[in-house]
Amino acid sequence: MSRAGKTILICDDDQGMRDTLTAILRRDYRVLTVSSGEAALALLKSEDVDLILLDVRLPGISGFDVLRIVKENYSLIECIMISAINEVETAVQAMKHGAYHYITKDFDYDELRSLVRNACERQDLNRQVITLSAQVAEQSEREFLIGPSKQIRDIVDLVQRVAKLSATVLILGESGTGKELLARLLHRESGRGEAPFIAVNLSAIPHELVESTLFGHERGAFTGAHKQQLGKFELAAGGTLFLDEIGDLRFELQAKLLRSIQEGEIERVGGSKPIKTDFRLIVATNVDLEKAVKEGRFREDLYYRINVIPIRMPPLRDRIEDLPELARLFLDRYKGKFRKPIKGIADSALRILASYWWPGNIRELENLIERLVAVSDKEWITDEDLPLEYHFAKLDAASTTNETRFQEACDTFERNFILRALEKSDWNVTATARYLGVPLSTLKHKMARLDLRDLAKKLRGA
């Protein structure tokens, strides 16, 4: 935040000192003044203050008591204590109670300006730390938007056209399709990439905490609210607010969200003053919102307010041609993480994965590859490494006859049995035939029928 956007409160019972401090600072800051600690605390309830210049000795409540109350309830406000005399004990006590600095009233004007500037910079740094800690713990972006499929190419093209617009984006799609990644991509390309990206999964927050999480709360707003807390709307200032699972938002809070979007301002829980907001809003859901509107579970006016630019993320089964590239991406990620010398995934294994339904979408694929890499001690991941449910996915197709199902099951078993024998024989076909006790011609025939010849050559030469 620029210095011109900062508000400084001068709390001193000496009119001359208030005038002097105001004259020094008003060119660069918005300056407010009060003559007592009680007046300062009352003003904080209606004004957003960044820094307080606070006299140690005040009529009524002392400067140290004001400092203590401020640090308990408004932790981001910096305080510089001012005293008529230079006392080491007083300075130590001020710093102990959380003051940024301690000065005497015979201060140098330039030194005061520098001190105030540094205090404001530290406040900005503290705000950034709070913002970063409020973000989703898992910051590694999942590069789900890769692959040759037309669906993904169309989405990437659309992102390039709308990213820099301020319009709200509604991302639709099943769980695990990469909705948050898409939101992060929009944020990076929006021109707000250096500002915060605040992600909130509304379905993961207890219902009673959703309102204070989004809008923040004042001290004493409810049981357990021991200090003021900024909400996600404020933390996203200048950046992007991503509300995941918007379809799970309580009906009574939908009206407050709508009002905040329309008015560009919020009110903290327990607060009475509006707070201006500036962020790009992106929302996502796996719920059919049109159906929810018809059933009275989602406000129609909110639906139209967020459905400005809809983008639908396709399930993995509808972009299955992207699977090999995605699988290789995850393989590279986890073989590095687990320090495994795995060279790749066999084509036969990729074909089996391509026939699977993928109810968990790309998240399920990533979890599978991570598990395969973690337990593998081989150079290649083959179809024998895949769990049984992936092998038999095609057998569940309604058009498959019982005879075909039985034959495919037999082929899968025989294929894996031969693969294990080849591995034990160091991929030597002749040695494998002796190991299995079958003629070499029989083994070669079976390998050709089961599409194992090319795989065996690849693995032997790896």
How far apart (Å, rounded) are the C-alpha atoms in residues 307 and 374? 42
Q: What is the mean pLDDT of residues 203-210?
A: 87
Confidence of residue 247 (pLDDT cuts 50, 70, 90): very high
Contact 120/50 with Cβ under 8 angstroms? yes
**CA–CA separation, 212 vs 300, rounded Å?**
24
Residue 404 contacts residue 439 (beta carbons within 8 Å): no
* Residue 94 in this model has a pLDDT that exceeds 50: yes
Tell me which of 60-74, 120-134, 375-389, 443-457 is least confident.
120-134
Residue range 137-146, pLDDT digits in tens: 334 444 567 8
Convert the pLDDT of each residue in 288-309 to its tens digit.
999 999 999 999 999 999 999 9
**Predicted local confidence at residue 241, as pLDDT:** 94
**pLDDT value at residue 144:** 67
Q: Strand, coil or helix: what is 127? A: helix
Supply the pLDDT for residue 147. 83
pTM: 0.60
Give the pLDDT mean for 366-382: 92
Q: What is the pLDDT of residues 384-425, one digit of tens each?
A: 888 877 876 654 543 445 556 566 667 777 887 888 888 888
pLDDT at residue number 134: 44
Residues 212, 231: contact at Cβ < 8 Å? Answer: yes
How high is the pLDDT of residue 434?
A: 87
| pLDDT recorded at residue 133 | 47
Compute CA distances 89 → 94, 96, 102, 376, whole Å: 9, 10, 11, 65
Taken in order of first residue, the domains within the chain and their CATH numbers are 3-133 (3.40.50.2300), 150-314 (3.40.50.300), 317-461 (1.10.8.60)
- State the DSSP code for 340: -
With a pLDDT cut of 70, the percent of the chain lying above it is 90
Task: Name residue, tokens 């790009």.
Answer: 280
Q: Which residues of 164-185 are buried (b: 16+ CB within 10 A; e: fewer)?
A: eeeeebbbbbbebbbbbbbbbb
What pLDDT score does 135 carry?
45
Contact yes or no for 230/248 (Cβ under 8 A): no
Q: What is the mean pLDDT of the chain?
A: 85
**pLDDT the model gives residue 398:** 38
Report pLDDT digits (tens) over 260-290: 888 888 888 888 788 888 899 999 999 999 9
Residue 224 pLDDT greater than 80, yes or no? no
Amino acid at 21: L
Q: Is the pLDDT of residue 2 over 50?
A: no
H helix intervals, 167-322: 179-189, 210-215, 232-235, 251-263, 289-294, 300-306
